[in-house]
Structure 1
Amino acid sequence: MKKVAVVSLIDEHERRQHIDSLFDAHNLDFSYFDAINKTQVEDTLQKHGLKVQSARMSAGEVACYLSHYCLWQQVIAHKLPYLMVFEDDIYFSKRAKTLLNNLDWLPNDFDVIKLETMHGRVMINKGIDIMLDHKLCHMRSSHMGMAGYIISQKGAKKLVTMIQGLGVDRPVDHIMFDRLIEQKASKVYQVSPALCIQDKIYNEQSTRFGSCLEEERQARPVIKVKLSAQQKINRELMRLWTQMQLVNFSRSLLLTVGGYKKQKIEYKE
């Protein structure tokens, strides 16, 4: 199994032509991972013993979630030290070629390294210099998006174990770049400036790659599930927890004292 994977639906010919050209220009050897489509959701859930635990998850979101979950399972099964994962609507910065073809900067002990940006402000530390004016920063607040990341064997095991306990209860980026970050021992990093960016973030007016997932989210069709009494209790407890702004403020204050600061993650062509 190659150490670079691009998640792409098998019939997305325009996107795959874009990826073929992009990765060839950056000398990156990769393989496509045929993304789970909506017709495969039920069989895939059953195969992995998973259940959808939220009525707000659309079929497309579940399919996206399962695509990444299946890749993490492959990381574990093939005992890969790491896997670079990209989605099929990205662009690379000019310096991505050098950094992604020379991974000596990878830390020995990491869970996930985020390579993209959504242009949001993220709580990160000063980080360490890696090369070409880029830094590797420890990340301690959420930063959504799944378009580019590196996951380690250890990180894959953590996420798979977490999901087997929780079920599919929220979009996959909320698990990787929020729930995992909340764990005290998590080692989730951000490359700054980012090395890649999604088409819709790079140019909000772009119509080059239509997003079925975004259309689904706007229409919000859902997979109907009946929550158990315990699941309802858990949902209410989580809602109360998120309303405890004092706790969140205290956490931010402690991180600030520890050298963390909310910064916008830039993307430089």
Structure 2
Amino acid sequence: MKCYVINLEGSSDRLRWFTEQEPLSGIEILRVPAINGSHLEQEERMTLMERRRSDYPVPAGVLGCFLSHRRAWEWVSDNEDQWAFVTEDDAHIFKDAKMFFESTDWIPDDADIVKAETSQEVTELSARSMPAKGTFRLRKLKAAHRNTAGYFIGRDTARRLLHLTASYCDPIDEVLFNPDLGISSNLMIYQLDPAICIQDNDAPGRIGFEQTIIRKQEPEPRTPMPFGIKKVVREIRRIYRRKIRPRFLQRLQISLFKKVPFAGDP
């Protein structure tokens, strides 16, 4: 299985660090040149912004990240391999994760994507799981689970996503892993539990890389706070989503609500 790593021009130190990780030894790594959103012409940016389907802010860095992952999908779709691993150059790969790259026999037949990363935020997973490799399990991902530092994707799925996102321009992690945007709800997405991948910012052995494609200093527009009846409705929905619904589904043993651990956590 090939590994497609998204890397911005001029970030050779990050690429070198990424490729020297032990689990990737012997794995074919292809550098996908990242797209710098701040280098796009204003007219092109405005055209892309008209494709937004959500209220999430899309500053230049987020736009570049979206386009960079679509470029990676193009590369995957043009390759003969049935499965590929798409990642970003600040991803920490679990030291014993090589077995997941050496074969695809652990990937379910109905899978479109297997999310290999954790954002370490609570998400909704299927209560039932199936074996992957070793002690790792696979669970169906049923709610938003953000970040796109590492995921296995089928070649046919990459082609399908290129078609589905041709008229989109939203944060890539929301597009892929948030059913509310309408794309991932049409895909079969599994989550590795525990995860074998984590972004440097959340990693236990953090290097301290600065964000490149998405820069922290980029201003993001603030969403006006609701008031009156809108605020009441929002609070009721929030309590239902975070408290009532999870308890009900867990009692029925339908869903599991938890933070997916990183396999490399101490």
What band does the TM-score fall into relative to the shorter chain? 0.7 to 0.9
Counterparts of 2:16 and 2:248, CA distance in 1:
47
2:227 is matched with: none
1:245 is matched with: 237
C-alpha displacement at 1:25, in angstroms? Answer: 5.5
Please show how residues 12-51 of structure 1 align to structure 2 within 5 Å.
12-22=11-21, 26-38=25-37, 40-42=39-41, 51=48
Q: CA 1:159–1:43 in 2, change beyond 3 Å: closer, same or farther?
A: farther
Q: CA 1:184–1:198 in 2, change beyond 3 Å: closer, same or farther?
A: closer
% identical equivalent positions: 23
Counterparts of 1:200 and 1:87, CA distance in 2:
12
2:98 is matched with: 97
Counterparts of 1:31 and 1:140, CA distance in 2:
31
Secondary structure (helix, strand or coil) at the match of 1:98 reads: helix
Tell me if structure 2 keeps the 8 A contact 1:139–1:181.
no
Secondary structure (helix, strand or coil) at the match of 2:190 reads: strand
C-alpha displacement at 1:72, in angstroms? Answer: 1.5
Counterparts of 2:144 and 2:72, CA distance in 1:
22
Please show how residues 163-174 of structure 1 align to structure 2 within 5 Å.
163-165=165-167, 167-168=168-169, 170-174=170-174
Counterpart code for 1:143: H
2:83 is matched with: 82
Counterparts of 1:73 and 1:44, CA distance in 2:
24
The number of equivalent residue pairs is 245
Q: CA 1:24–1:127 in 2, change beyond 3 Å: closer, same or farther?
A: closer
C-alpha displacement at 1:182, in angstroms? Answer: 6.8
Q: 2:256 aligns with which of 239, 261, 264?
A: 261
Q: CA 1:118–1:184 in 2, change beyond 3 Å: closer, same or farther?
A: closer
Please show how residues 1-269 of structure 1 align to structure 2 within 5 Å.
3-22=2-21, 26-38=25-37, 40-42=39-41, 51-53=48-50, 54=52, 56-78=57-79, 80-125=81-126, 126-165=128-167, 167-168=168-169, 170-179=170-179, 184-203=185-204, 206=206, 208-212=208-212, 213-217=214-218, 219-220=219-220, 243=234, 245=237, 256=250, 257=252, 259-269=254-264
Deviations 1:156-191 (CA, angstroms, capped at 9, x unpaired): 2342233223x21x2110000103677554201110
RMSD of aligned alpha carbons? 3.4
What runs of 5+ residues in structure 1 fail to find an aligned partner? 223-238
C-alpha displacement at 1:23, in angstroms? Answer: 5.5
C-alpha displacement at 1:37, in angstroms? Answer: 1.5
C-alpha displacement at 1:132, in angstroms? Answer: 1.6
Deviations 1:199-240 (CA, angstroms, capped at 9, x unpaired): 110149x563111424234x3389xxxxxxxxxxxxxxxx99
C-alpha displacement at 1:101, in angstroms? Answer: 1.8
Q: CA 1:157–1:25 in 2, change beyond 3 Å: closer, same or farther?
A: closer
Tell me if structure 1 keeps the 8 A contact 2:2–2:85.
yes
Counterpart code for 1:245: R
1:231 is matched with: none
Secondary structure (helix, strand or coil) at the match of 2:15 reads: helix
With normalisation by structure 1, the TM-score equals: 0.77
Tell me if structure 2 keeps the 8 A contact 1:113–1:150.
yes
Tell me if structure 2 keeps the 8 A contact 1:124–1:262.
yes
- Larger helix share, 1 or 2: 1
C-alpha displacement at 1:254, in angstroms? Answer: 7.7
Q: CA 1:146–1:184 in 2, change beyond 3 Å: closer, same or farther?
A: closer
Counterparts of 2:42 and 2:83, CA distance in 1:
27
Counterpart code for 2:197: C
Secondary structure (helix, strand or coil) at the match of 1:113 reads: strand
